[in-house]
Amino acid sequence: MSHPSDAEQKLLQLLSGKWVTAALAAAAELGIADALAPAPLTAAQLAQRLGCDATALARLLRVLCGEGLLEVDVEGCYRITPVGAQLRSGQLRELARFVGAPFMWTPWAELADALRDTQRSAFERAHGHPLFAHLDQSPHDAAVYHQAVDAFTRRQARALCNAFDFSGLERVVDVGGGLGTVLTELTQRFPQLACVLYDRPSVIEQARAHWARTDPSARIETDSGDFFERVPAPADAYIVKHVLHNWDDEHATRILRVCREALRPGGHVLIVESLLLPGNVRDATALLDLEMLVLCGAGHERSKPQFRRLLHDAGLSLVATRPLAGGARLLIAAPRVARD
């Protein structure tokens, strides 16, 4: 039996999570890991490079050392650890900036009210508009959002290419595919594929601008519209990655049904989502489920049985599931036969 003081310390440790997250986000925003990547620096040297007050920066560096992101030697030079190196650009820096961005941070203060009244998400309470409407109206916040999604997607894109055989396919559509990171990986690995990025018009504009900066020769078609009503057709596979968890079951089913109706014979719907585990264990997907409550209200993570029901209602059957990067799973679905 734990001592009462142990319980107190545990709760205090949990409450300090806000401070740690804010420290990581600030480190990402400042670019500390990028600045330390070439060689160790003192706090004064680092402050000069980043345009910070050296005394104030040293207080942040102390916390980062305590969390295992940095190490400091006897001469006062800071170097990044393997964990800290994940805050570099091209790794998870963009995700950390997103987590600490004001437009993402503020809605969490509305969580209690959003639990009492589910008519509006915490995000809408904080900003006056639902998440995707806000992103359409705020190019800066939209850029932060899509860069964060892109940072996480790069790992999953490589894993997806290994988890499913695309070699015999001709046309693949990424539904709600953001900046087209998955399709960029697919075109490199499978040159025969005709790939189509499908998203809201504002997102397609950002994707084109992104390719102009990073990959002017990207072999990806684009199309925009409402995935509740239509998707580019036909295709051998529709990728629906971290889209369904933004919506309630009715809307998620509608997306899947639209994809099923557009499939070529023998085609598949490839769903990438995290799966809720049974029981009340500590689970990153359960935390992500709470994030979806904050951001989207009715959106939520699902268990495997819940996905089976969702697919059944859309006229699909679950063929197989395979692990991907970052705790996500690939759910491979095919049109449901009459006897199913």
Q: If we measure between CA atoms, which residue out of 204, 228, 225, 198 comes closest to residue 142?
A: 204
Q: If we measure between CA atoms, which residue out of 69, 105, 62 comes closest to residue 88?
A: 69
CB 85 within 8 A of CB 68: no
Q: Which residues pair with 272 in a beta bridge?
A: 241, 330
Long-range contacts of 111-115 (CB under 8 A, 24+ apart): 111/290, 111/293, 111/294, 114/293, 114/294, 114/297, 115/293
Q: How many CB atoms lie within 10 A of CB 191?
A: 8
The H or E element containing residue 125 is helix 122-127
Q: Which residue has the tokens 């203060």?
A: 109
Q: Which of 127, 210, 245, 300 is catalytic?
A: 245
245 annotated active-site: yes
Q: How far is CA 179 from CA 19, 46, 208, 297, in A?
A: 31, 33, 8, 24
Task: Report d(CA 10, CA 224) in Å as an integer.
Answer: 48
Q: How many CB atoms lie within 10 A of CB 82?
A: 8
The edge-to-edge listing of strands for the beta sheet with 70-72 is: 41-42, 77-80, 70-72
Catalytic residues: 245
